[in-house]
């Protein structure tokens, strides 16, 4: 039986790269997306055409009910997951704190923090050996913004990633005896569509001189670290956060 992986926000960017690499590592791949059904279905079709097993499931991870339904659907249509990548995340247009509305805070915190908490909770219920599960591995996608912040740009986003770092460290201790590992990857500036969604398409170019390696990262470079952390190669690693950021 192939292992089943769920990648939230798997329709684009880092999540899409992770989906393709998970197929190459012989997982049955479940892609979650919020709205980009076309892209999610394209990835599923490509994996199937190459002989893999893949599924796309729409759900807004900031919505508790939709997350519960997502996991139930995967249980019944695919099988029990043993790997979760809490990848879905959003940035809003650049603003200082004084200008940030409550509505924006609620949206960013609900997606980036609540979404990861909801998905981790559902995954643990299924993975835990206390519930007759077979264990598993969770990788949360943080950001170097949790360390350096993004002053004048995304103080809310950076703060959510600080919460993801803390979630990773604390949850790893709560579930270590239940045969579940929890780790995180902290990407630096990665060349995906997230920057244009936040209103600055050339952000990677603007920022690259501040990166010791003088370039943005490729989503595949994050995906490789995610898949390694999920694998048995990392069997004694939990509560660890790996910076993948070109030295910054």
Examine residue 192 and tell whether it contacts ligand NAP (CB under 6 A).
yes
Contact 206, 200 (CB under 8 A): yes
Nearer to ligand NAP by C-beta: 67 or 124? 67
* Residue span binding ligand NAP (CB under 6 A) among the ranges 42-50, 72-80, 118-126, 190-198: 190-198
CB of 137 to ligand NAP, least distance (A): 18
- For residue 201, the tally of other CB atoms under 10 A from its CB is 11
Residue 122's contacts (CB-CB under 8 Å, 6 or more residues apart) are: 67, 68, 70, 71
Mark whether 20 is an active-site residue: no
**Footprint (CB under 6 A) of ligand NAP, residues 133-152:** 141, 143
Examine residue 11 and tell whether it contacts ligand NAP (CB under 6 A).
yes
Nearer to ligand NAP by C-beta: 4 or 184? 184
Contact 244, 225 (CB under 8 A): yes
Interface mask toward ligand NAP for 103-132; x: CB under 6 A: --------x---x-----------------
Q: Using CA atoms, how far apart are residues 19 and 6, in angstroms rounded to an integer?
A: 9
DSSP state of 12: S
What is the three-class DSSP state of 54?
A: strand
Nearer to ligand NAP by C-beta: 12 or 128? 12
Residue 23's contacts (CB-CB under 8 Å, 6 or more residues apart) are: 29, 47, 50, 52, 54
Kindly list the residues in this chain that would bind ligand NAP in the complex (CB under 6 A).
Answer: 8-9, 11-15, 32-36, 60-62, 87-90, 111, 115, 141, 143, 187, 189-190, 192-194, 197
């Amino acid at each position: 039986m192939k292992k089943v992986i769920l990648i939230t926000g798997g329709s684009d960017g880092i999540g899409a790269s992770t989906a393709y690499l998970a197929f190459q590592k012989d997982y049955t791949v479940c892609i979650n997306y919020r709205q980009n059904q076309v892209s999610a279905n394209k990835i599923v079709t490509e994996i199937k055409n190459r002989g893999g097993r893949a599924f796309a499931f729409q759900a807004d991870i900031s919505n508790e009910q939709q997350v519960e339904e997502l996991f139930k659907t995967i249980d019944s249509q695919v099988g029990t997951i043993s790997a979760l990548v809490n990848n879905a995340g959003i940035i809003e247009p650049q603003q200082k704190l004084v200008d940030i509305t409550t509505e924006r805070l609620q949206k960013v915190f609900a997606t980036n923090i609540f979404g990861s908490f909801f998905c981790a909770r559902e995954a643990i219920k299924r993975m835990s050996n206390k519930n007759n599960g077979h264990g598993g591995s969770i990788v949360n996608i943080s950001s170097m913004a949790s360390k350096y912040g993004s002053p004048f740009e995304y103080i809310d986003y950076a703060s959510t990633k600080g919460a993801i770092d803390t979630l990773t460290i604390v949850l790893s201790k709560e579930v270590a005896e239940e045969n579940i590992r929890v780790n995180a990857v902290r990407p630096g500036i990665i060349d995906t569509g997230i920057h244009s969604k936040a209103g600055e398409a050339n952000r990677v170019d603007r920022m690259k001189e501040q990166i010791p390696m003088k370039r943005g990262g490729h989503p595949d470079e994050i995906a490789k670290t995610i898949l390694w952390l999920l694998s048995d190669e990392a069997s004694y690693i939990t509560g660890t956060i790996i910076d993948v950021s070109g030295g910054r």
